[in-house]
Chains A and B, each alone.
Chain A
């Protein structure tokens, strides 16, 4: 089996459930990863994403459901026989072993000869650009370096699937985006099927081929980042991914009234009464009015190419808008403005 074939496996979870006593942490999760695909599981803490990852790794046992790697059933396979590379949240390097020894640990367990081990360690060190740290001990490395070694160690065994359990959450912001991009580069270079668990939507959206949003042990929606952002399937996904305005309004029939404009409701057809319309900041247009508008500007923050404008409507709702900076230069705090929604249909949630 060539390296590429071995590393680009399919991973399939079929109706995986897991109960912890009376709590149902995972509720019939179905998920298929194509060879070489990076899929992120995104969700708030307690949504079951980590449990799903741990079941794939063999560190947790599913209450029901089946797991397949390359079509082979993996349910009863022990964690140490699964050939899965896993990167943990933090502090998972063996403190008594130096960087090289950490990387070759999995190779030793596989009884691979020392010449081959040394070759593989050198390759891995080059991959994560840590050749100079080969003889350092974990406590002498920074958090980012430690996670790169952990990644190299997980990849050294040529795993069938790479599992990332919030590998960036213990790092500070700057290092985080750097390691994030490095993970994606290496993942694409090796073409390794990867399951990535995170609670950070930015992390998930930036490096994944597809993102699965989870809530209460179920997959709410799984799609490419663009669709997830622009066309969320549920109000949960809409709220969890990206920034969202909740505009209080009244629904009648299939439409809601937003800033005096009738807009079609995408979900909960036929709903009547008080609802919140979910509108992204970039779908709101702020224009100056000579007379009285429907809102007042509270602040405008310059963010570079775009600017964030926070307004308050006559009814008291605070609305966030995102506009190109060159179009919003003449908007000043305290001014009366007119808000407009540039959407043809909208998601609503009950209040």
Chain B
């Protein structure tokens, strides 16, 4: 009896593992054709000499010599970093308040933070710009505030999840009763406890800001994405090199952020 059942189990397992294998290989194939192949193809293509013969860096050197390549990238990185920092410094205390004593305001703030996804970008860009003080309207730094706004839906959720996973109330009360100010409590207790959520929120805001095209273009500022569009209209190979470059850059940035929380986890293990 026992062996018969085992045989049956084994055959079921064999079929299901075959199915599993099929699903995995199909997914790999799909991923390869739709994602990996274009990337490989465009990488190879970007290293070709114009005219199609031989290997060269010419497209990349062309890219580096274009007017505004470094300038626009520098602006994008600077604005994105500012937006990320501003977003986090605004949202961490807000989310702590909402999860601690301000529970009743949570639905309202949740609603406000979801608005950037609902409001058409054109109305957001034009409407919000009119509301800004005029000294900001004349500098590219006005984009920082737009980038903060478009990051809100993601920051809200990322931080909210992180805060709900810790016993916020007890930690805050313990810290307060030990004589710590609110500032110290947030910086030395809450921020380390929700580090993963903060890294995630920061990464999303920075990634969104670096890639933001519509608002920047509507308000006539030049950042890396708007520069890319203009530059790629002049040189086909250069445009491909540019997309490969942006892709590798994005992967590099992503890896840096992905490594952050792991580093601290490893530190704990070593201390053991």
Find B171's partner among A80, A92, A153 (CB 8 Å cutoff): A92
- A 43-70 to B, binary, CB cutoff 8 A, 1 in contact else 0: 0000000000000011100000000000
Given known contacts A91-B170, A95-B166, A105-B175, is B181 in contact with A80 (CB within 8 Å)? Answer: yes
Interchain nearest-CB distance for B261 vs A (Å):
12
Interchain nearest-CB distance for B86 vs A (Å):
25
A95 to B188, CA, bound (A): 11
Interchain nearest-CB distance for B180 vs A (Å):
4
Residues of A within 8 A of B234 (CB): none
Chain B residue nearest to A98 (CB atoms) is B271
Q: Are A140 and B189 in touch, CB under 8 angstroms?
A: no
Q: Are A137 and B271 in touch, CB under 8 angstroms?
A: yes
State which size class the interface on B falls in: 20 to 34
- A 77-112 to B, binary, CB cutoff 8 A, 1 in contact else 0: 001111111101111111110100000011001100
Report if A157 contacts B (CB, 8 A): yes
A29 to B189, CA, bound (A): 34
Q: Are A59 and B173 in touch, CB under 8 angstroms?
A: yes
Interchain nearest-CB distance for B120 vs A (Å):
42
Find A82's partner among B170, B177, B189 (CB 8 Å cutoff): B177
Given known contacts A109-B181, A137-B268, A137-B271, is B176 in contact with A94 (CB within 8 Å)? Answer: no
Q: Are B271 and A86 in touch, CB under 8 angstroms?
A: no
Interchain nearest-CB distance for A81 vs B (Å):
7
Q: Are B271 and A94 in touch, CB under 8 angstroms?
A: no
Residues of A within 8 A of B181 (CB): 80, 109
A315 to B152, CA, bound (A): 72
Interchain nearest-CB distance for A235 vs B (Å):
36
Q: Are A109 and B177 in touch, CB under 8 angstroms?
A: no
Interchain nearest-CB distance for A174 vs B (Å):
25
Q: Are B180 and A84 in touch, CB under 8 angstroms?
A: no
Residues of B within 8 A of A81 (CB): 179
Find B272's partner among A91, A140, A153 (CB 8 Å cutoff): A140
Q: Are A109 and B184 in touch, CB under 8 angstroms?
A: yes
Binding site secondary structure of chain B: helix
A59 to B177, CA, bound (A): 8
Q: Give the tally of cross-chain contacts (CB within 8 A).
A: 81
Q: Are B179 and A96 in touch, CB under 8 angstroms?
A: no
Residues of A within 8 A of B268 (CB): 137
Report if B178 contacts A (CB, 8 A): yes
With a 10 A CB-CB cut-off, give which of B171, B179, B181, B188 has the most chain A CB atoms. Answer: B179
A254 to B241, CA, bound (A): 103
Find B177's partner among A84, A95, A98 (CB 8 Å cutoff): A84
- B 237-272 to A, binary, CB cutoff 8 A, 1 in contact else 0: 000000000000000000000000000000010011
Interchain nearest-CB distance for A152 vs B (Å):
12
A136 to B268, CA, bound (A): 9
Interchain nearest-CB distance for B165 vs A (Å):
11
Residues of B within 8 A of A153 (CB): 174, 178
Task: Enumerate B166-202 residues with CB–CB distance to A below 8 Å.
Answer: 166-167, 170-171, 173-181, 184, 188-189, 192-193, 195
A110 to B178, CA, bound (A): 9
Residues of A within 8 A of B166 (CB): 95
Q: Are A105 and B180 in touch, CB under 8 angstroms?
A: yes
A172 to B229, CA, bound (A): 66
Residues of B within 8 A of A57 (CB): 173, 177
Q: Are A86 and B184 in touch, CB under 8 angstroms?
A: no
State which size class the interface on A falls in: 20 to 34
Residues of B within 8 A of A92 (CB): 167, 170-171, 173-174
Given known contacts A95-B166, A96-B193, is B180 in contact with A109 (CB within 8 Å)? Answer: yes
Report if A73 contacts B (CB, 8 A): no
Q: Are A95 and B193 in touch, CB under 8 angstroms?
A: yes
Find A80's partner among B180, B189, B193, B272 (CB 8 Å cutoff): B180
Report if A135 contacts B (CB, 8 A): yes
Q: Are B179 and A88 in touch, CB under 8 angstroms?
A: no
Q: Are A94 and B177 in touch, CB under 8 angstroms?
A: no
Chain A residue nearest to B189 (CB atoms) is A94
With a 10 A CB-CB cut-off, give which of A79, A89, A140 has the most chain B CB atoms. Answer: A79
Find B176's partner among A79, A85, A96, A110 (CB 8 Å cutoff): A79
Residues of A within 8 A of B178 (CB): 80, 85, 105-106, 109, 153-154, 157
Find A94's partner among B174, B195, B272 (CB 8 Å cutoff): B174
Interchain nearest-CB distance for B186 vs A (Å):
13
Residues of B within 8 A of A80 (CB): 176-181
A58 to B189, CA, bound (A): 20
Residues of B within 8 A of A58 (CB): 176-177
Q: Are A88 and B180 in touch, CB under 8 angstroms?
A: no
Residues of B within 8 A of A82 (CB): 177
Residues of B within 8 A of A96 (CB): 189, 192-193, 195
Interchain nearest-CB distance for A246 vs B (Å):
39
Interchain nearest-CB distance for B2 vs A (Å):
40
Find A157's partner among B173, B179, B271 (CB 8 Å cutoff): B179
Task: Enumerate A144-175 residues with CB–CB distance to B below 8 Å.
Answer: 150, 153-154, 157, 163
Given A94-B188, A105-B178, 9 other A-B contacts at CB below 8 A?
A80-B176, A88-B170, A90-B170, A94-B171, A94-B174, A94-B189, A106-B179, A109-B180, A137-B268
Can you report 13 residue pairs joining A to B where beta carbons are below 8 Å apart? A57-B173, A58-B176, A80-B178, A85-B177, A85-B178, A86-B174, A88-B170, A92-B170, A95-B166, A105-B180, A136-B272, A150-B174, A153-B174
* A binding-site residues for B, Cβ under 8 Å: 57-59, 79-86, 88-96, 98, 105-106, 109-110, 135-137, 140, 150, 153-154, 157, 163
A-B complex: 7 closest residue pairs judged by Cβ atoms? A106-B178, A96-B192, A109-B180, A92-B174, A109-B179, A86-B177, A79-B176
